[in-house]
Chain A
Amino acid sequence: MIIKKYLFSFIVLIMAVYFGVSFGATSGLDFDSIVQLRLPRVLLAISSGMSLACAGAVLQALFTNPLCDPYTLGVSSGAALGAALGIVLGFEAWFLGLALSAFIGALAFMLVLILISLKTRLTNLTLLLCGVMLGFLGSSGVAICMTIGDAQGMQNALFWLMGDLSRARMHGVLLTLFVSLILIFMLWRKSTQLDAFLMGEENASGLGVSVPKLRRQFIFLTSLLVGLSVASSGMIGFLGLIVPHFSRKLVGSLHFNMIPFCIIWGAVALVLADLMARVLLKPYELPVGVITAFVGAPLFIWMILSDGRSRN
Chain B
Amino acid sequence: MEDQEIKPILGAYSLNYFFGEKQVLKDISFELFKGEIITIIGPNASGKSTLLKILSGILPLKEIESAGQVFCQNRLLFKMTPDERARSVVYLSSELQAEFPLTALETVLMGRICHHLHNYVEKQDIARWAMEQCVCWGLRGRFLHTLSGGERQLVNLSRALAQGSRVILLDEALSKMDLHHQTMMGMLLKKLVQKNYSIVLVSHDLNQCLSLADSCVLLLRGEKIAHGQIADIFKESNLKKLYPGASFVLGQNPTNLHPHIFL
Contacts and interface: CB of A to CB of B under 8 A. Distances in A.
Contacts of B84: 208
Nearest to A212: B60
Nearest to A65: B99
Given A206-B90, A207-B86, A310-B145, A199 B113 contact: no
A211 B59 CA distance: 10
A199 B96 contact: yes
B97 interface: yes
Interface residues of B, number: 31
B140 to A, nearest CB: 13
A207 B97 contact: no
Contacts of A205: 57-58, 82
A307 to B, nearest CB: 9
Interface in A181-233: 192-193, 195-196, 198-200, 202-203, 205-212
Interface string A56-81: 00001100111000000000000000
Name the residue in B87, B91, B99, B107 with the highest tally of chain A Cβ atoms < 10 Å from its Cβ. B99
Given A202-B93, A207-B86, A208-B83, A253 B101 contact: yes
A209 B113 contact: yes
A66 B99 contact: yes
Contacts of A65: 99
Interface in B20-62: 53, 56-58, 60-61
A254 B111 CA distance: 14
Contacts of A90: none
B65 interface: no
Contacts of A192: 113
Interface in B62-87: 81-87
Given A206-B56, A206-B58, A66 B100 contact: yes
A169 interface: no
A200 B97 contact: yes
B103 interface: yes
A167 interface: no
A248 B87 CA distance: 29
Given A199-B107, A253-B101, 6 more contacts: A202-B58, A206-B86, A207-B111, A208-B87, A209-B86, A210-B82
9 contacts: A193-B113, A199-B107, A207-B110, A208-B85, A208-B86, A208-B163, A209-B86, A248-B101, A252-B103
